[in-house]
Structure 1
């Protein structure tokens, strides 16, 4: 309702009509004059500007014009003439009369008035005072206030009874305004406040107290209904008392009507001891029932309750505190029950769902930001912090890691990381990695050890990147665990009682497999978009492929694929401390690849060498680089030898055996055993010719021929055509024994053994590759896979192959136990020498040192080549004492002997 700006009419009696000073009227003025001159006049008006005289006409005419223009109105009662009708007894002059009255002063001066001509023009300007005419009335403001309050009290009774008729809001508004203008605002507000308080106490609170024994939600509904009713009543009251609110209450210390509405209800109803607990508990019971899924949350009722708490300014002090306390107790009981009945993944899912619902409720019902903040902190404290021991339990985490449950691991880390507790997984995570890796390292399946380790590394890297969000502490734990189990040693049959790590040996063999076989040698589980039964992840886990990890396209060439695999192997190699074991086996395998031309890619060989040099330094790869240089120098040497043969008189190309020789440095290359063999005469002549040529250029050098490493090409004629056979030197020696023999003539095993000069095992191995393999240029009698001393052999005249050049593979003997043992023992001995050298260097620099410090610095100095056990280090120290390099002193000290 729009409040009127002011009264439109007035009552007839003084008690009901507004006071006269509130009426709008033209002011009455009383004019006193002593003299009016004809030439110069000055009019003085109270609270008005000075008017200049107009000499064109008499002053009376000017005044009359002003009166006729209705600038001023004069009360006729105050200007009644005294006797002659021209004035009153007070000497006031009626300026509206056409004939100006005579001045008393003029009569005194001239004796008689004969008109204006008798006025003395030399007396100067006279002062003319105009006064406001105010009529004194008998207005009674107190009686008016009582009259208006009677009307207001009747209207309030109707409003409190939910009525809307029986009174005029406009008239009541005018009455309130008039009372306020007369200074009765304070009294009026006091009576209004008392009447409202009486209504809230008598009508509202009494009715609610009758229901105080009901259920909490029932009391809450009743209170909300009364609160809504009270607000509607106050809307009408504020419209009537709008002028009081704006003109008086806003500038006073008293509450406005908008403030009075919740204040009265809060102080009288909400704060009552019998109602307040019921109201707050009723709102909390709505949420509790929804959490227990006993009934659906009454969203309208709960929203109204929250709004009421905000409007009454009791949200923080009353509702929020109780709501959080009730929630804490519920979450405590709920979490204890769930963690004991459910698995960790199920608990994580339910906890995240619970937190999500609670936060959604806060958003939906616009709970305060402080409530959302405190509630979230409470939930995280109860569901995460207090359950961190259960969430980081080793058994629970190990189950997830065993099954590669990436989604569950990610949820676990995300839940813990709400309170920055993700790193609490490190002990259990590191323990699982260590135990799993140790099982792989010491398993009997040595051939697949590196495949298992690489697969494990890829799985854990994926877990760390995706599930654990690249947590720095967990990453450190992962690397430390890998380093720990990879360097674990156990004196057993695998390492022939030495402290050598088996991982270094198997890494070298796996690299040899890659460099010999190329992409065909890469295990399926480690290639792009392929899986394998070997440590294959579960169906719901998709491992990133090598191409994806290196941001390569799907169509990768062979060199790129090999390089990716070498990078992965190098990741494992970085964890290995005993790199001397890797060096020994890698050197032996590299020599075989270089001498027999079995490398799949020369670029891959040099790429691996460059990686090792970057990782371990130039000293580590010095011998390996020398091996490559020897191959290059041998190639140049052979070019020089062939050029010398061509320059020789009578040399005809094609009539001599074309040989290719590699000259190897004994210090850089592995040592090979000398296997006796009878070389054919024509090959012997070529060998002697090259040796003569070499010694003529390099005097003082001795050549030891390793025929077991040689291979050759020879032509053979069969019934279905000629073929060029690529065979080893021993295979060639055996095949040459069948020249000039008929197709049906059988050659006994004893004859081959005596004519070739090879050991029995070598003859059997060579004959098995020629007569029992897939490609058989010889036929064994009787047929079988094993070679016996009583077997005989004939030429397979029906040998055929679609290609002209055929490679007959030699039956490759796996590394014998004796060779493996020899390598491990040699490495162990080298490590002892390295340990002694490190001790001597330390003693030479320190002169005097304690036993513990000496052992610690020795381990630090030899860690890159492989650390010995504490007992072995002590044995080496004792050996140096025996050799007089150092001596013992009192207090467990050692001193250096210069």
Structure 2
């Protein structure tokens, strides 16, 4: 069925006619701008691509008219084919375009109505209402207008409406809701920004087709999202016409930060965080907010530093540390830009640290912190200085403090016995400070060692102790003796390793410091650290040699392994010449054991009756061991007999040798009977001789001996006798009773056996006072070291002149100091005296301003 129709000249109709057949067969809808001609072409053929239809019939028809041109035929293929084919093919219904000339006006009215609907929808969105038309219909209206070719006009209308809304309604609303404060303005601005964000989202969804079809490829116009942001930024924050809330809004953000800095309860963290995000979206953070914020931060830092500058260093450090931590946290938590954080922290470092470096590096204040061992404060100070890269300037007050505190320890004559323990505790605290506060900075470790070497070898130490040689060397030797005799139980807990030390030891492959032997070895290493600073090592050698001899002869070493380990450490530190005599002492001990085995075999072979007395003799090389004074002692008959027998054996075996008996070093075990049972007493030879004298008066009724009687029968006198009687009658363990009672022994005193003596132990050790070093003996050792040092100086002078033949005085003195500094520092005046002595002995002679060696 055909019918003629005409089409408007402006293109296909947006509201086409639509008809549907009611008969069987196919349905064909035709839309054309020209009269429809019958066509035999079908869309149901297998080689033809079926066009996709829009869900809206009117739009679908419009699009299909573009696809097929003059004529469109649609064949209904949804029904299954049947065998009945009366016309030899599908039944076809053709509907022609029935437009009239009046439809052009209908299109114009449709476009105008669509534009009006969009304007009304915009107004509803601006009023935060739901548009009257569905959003889907509005979207289709935008699409139709864009297809109609009015995209530019539609965009201009949208932009003008949005600009008018923000300029009039939004700004007016912000002003009306904002109070007098900057915070109120910020809160109002952010509120309307959130509203505008929601509104612009709805607008973008309605005008999405415009955004994707026209604006996406057009560089002259912003897309809707960018336009919305730009309008809000320009009108609210940048515009200078009328009311401008932007300045007060930015000030409000700075006020919020200030509230947070001062702990004001008006601080609103959520508002600050969201406001910073708003500025990032509006792209005004760096240009408008950052300079204003940094300027306000500088003012705050200056004010803070000025207020805190009058406080103590500890308070200032703590305040700065907390402030910088809060500033860092705020920048991370509230979306501040990284460049803002960097500039702000740089300003803080300069204003708080560089400008107040004199306060931070004040020697007196730092000394107070170090005296208090304020690890946290020193760590904070180091970290603060490191932020400005001036932490190296801390070395000077650090080194001066160590020198001052160390000198006070070594010059304290009232606490000489505690000197090394105090030095090690001091060193331990400094090590912990370097490890935990200074981030293991090697430069501070080096400064500490320099300072230790300075005060340990200071001449004031020798003058305060009046020894003439190093007192520190003596005390280090005594400390090591204490360690090797008593082990770790003699140490304070502050010197023992902590968890970090054990972790470091495991990482370095060393034995775990939790083990007792490993911990003892570590403590010996700590003592050697002090020993390395000493220039007068000959003093250490002399006292260490004496103490080692006592430990070996009395069997007082806590660990034979520790003794050998210490000897190896000294050999590694000072060389084999230093430890030659010490090694010989250990060899003599082994030779003595072999000698006693041989002696017992000799006694059995010569038919000597076995005695109840078990004699053990240590044969010492006179050159290797310390010198001991010869003392007279009347020995009991059985002891004297055994000694004579051993001497006969030894002289017969080793011709040309002579034995000198040192009874002051002898010790023995004596059996004693008391009213409540027998005891074994571990005593020295002097104490044993005095105790055996009371056997002679056991049956006498009074049973006492006078001071003089003991002196006559024992051959002891003077201090040796006084110390012996005092240890037996006045100590903690009193096996003798003195009359009259008292702590000191006098020639008029009398002594008797304390038969009521009791002790829970069967074997009782009595303190051997005579083995303790006296002040006189200590001074003699220092004098002997000083004398040996003079001989070493003269030997060095001769050795140098023998190789050089001729030298000036200054060069000779410098060379002598260089060659003898490892043993002990010699003053130039002493060197000059030794040169004079050698000139008198015809080793040298003067020729002008130089010395010449005489062969």
TM-score (norm 2): 0.77
Q: What is aligned with 1:675?
A: 631
Q: What is aligned with 1:647?
A: 605
In 1, Cα distance between the equivalents of 2:759 and 2:457? 49
Q: 2:409 aligns with which of 416, 436, 440?
A: 440
In 2, Cα distance between the equivalents of 1:528 and 1:814? 28
Q: What is aligned with 2:745?
A: 787
Change beyond 3 A, Cα 1:806–1:246 = closer
Matches within 5 A, 1:40-439: 69=92, 173=139, 176-201=142-167, 204=170, 215-228=181-194, 230-253=196-219, 254-273=221-240, 274-299=244-269, 301-341=271-311, 343-417=312-386, 424-439=393-408
* Residues 268-307 of structure 1, C-alpha deviations (whole Å, 9 max, x = no match): 3321235442332232223223433444123454445334
Change beyond 3 A, Cα 1:272–1:824 = same
Check whether the contact 1:526–1:545 (CA below 8 A) recurs between aligned residues: no
Check whether the contact 1:173–1:242 (CA below 8 A) recurs between aligned residues: yes
* Residues 100-158 of structure 1, C-alpha deviations (whole Å, 9 max, x = no match): xxxxxxxxxxxxxxxxxxxxxxxxxxxxxxxxxx9999889999877865665566566
Give 1:194 shift: 4.0
Matched, 1:695 2:643: no
* Residues 634-670 of structure 1, C-alpha deviations (whole Å, 9 max, x = no match): 2222332332222225x22228x65433222111111
Q: What is aligned with 2:544?
A: 586
Judge which range, 348-357 or 853-862, deviates more: 853-862
* Residues 35-78 of structure 1, C-alpha deviations (whole Å, 9 max, x = no match): xxxxxxxxxx9999xxxxxxxxxxxxxxx9899646x877899x
In 2, Cα distance between the equivalents of 1:841 and 1:258? 96
Describe the SS at the equivalent of 1:691: helix
Describe the SS at the equivalent of 2:629: coil
Give 1:548 shift: 9.5
Matched, 1:867 2:833: no
Q: 2:618 aligns with which of 662, 683, 687?
A: 662
Give 1:586 shift: 1.0
In 2, Cα distance between the equivalents of 1:802 and 1:223? 91
Q: What is aligned with 1:476?
A: 446
In 1, Cα distance between the equivalents of 2:337 and 2:222? 25
* Residues 437-464 of structure 1, C-alpha deviations (whole Å, 9 max, x = no match): 2211110210111222232233333333
In 2, Cα distance between the equivalents of 1:199 and 1:799? 112
* Residues 618-649 of structure 1, C-alpha deviations (whole Å, 9 max, x = no match): 22211011112112212222332332222225
Report how many aligned residue pairs link the two structures.
784
In 1, Cα distance between the equivalents of 2:109 and 2:839? 126
Q: 1:512 aligns with which of 467, 481, 488?
A: 481
Change beyond 3 A, Cα 1:204–1:873 = farther
Check whether the contact 1:835–1:858 (CA below 8 A) recurs between aligned residues: yes
Q: 1:631 aligns with which of 589, 606, 609?
A: 589
Q: 1:622 aligns with which of 577, 580, 586?
A: 580
In 2, Cα distance between the equivalents of 1:221 and 1:362? 20
In 1, Cα distance between the equivalents of 2:694 and 2:677? 17
Change beyond 3 A, Cα 1:691–1:375 = same
Matches within 5 A, 1:471-550: 471-490=441-460, 492=462, 495-498=465-468, 500-518=469-487, 522-525=490-493
Check whether the contact 2:461–2:471 (CA below 8 A) recurs between aligned residues: no
Q: Over the residues paired in the alignment, what is the CA RMSD in angstroms?
A: 4.8
Change beyond 3 A, Cα 1:835–1:68 = farther
Give 1:493 shift: 6.0
In 2, Cα distance between the equivalents of 1:173 and 1:208? 31
Q: What is aligned with 2:785?
A: 827
In 2, Cα distance between the equivalents of 1:47 and 1:386? 87
- Structure of higher CA gyration radius: 1
Judge which range, 141-150 or 213-222, deviates more: 141-150
Describe the SS at the equivalent of 1:297: coil
Change beyond 3 A, Cα 1:308–1:790 = closer
| Gapped regions of structure 2 (runs ≥ 5) | 1-5, 17-28, 40-67, 72-86
Q: What is aligned with 2:421?
A: 451
Check whether the contact 1:839–1:858 (CA below 8 A) recurs between aligned residues: yes
Q: What is aligned with 2:724?
A: 766
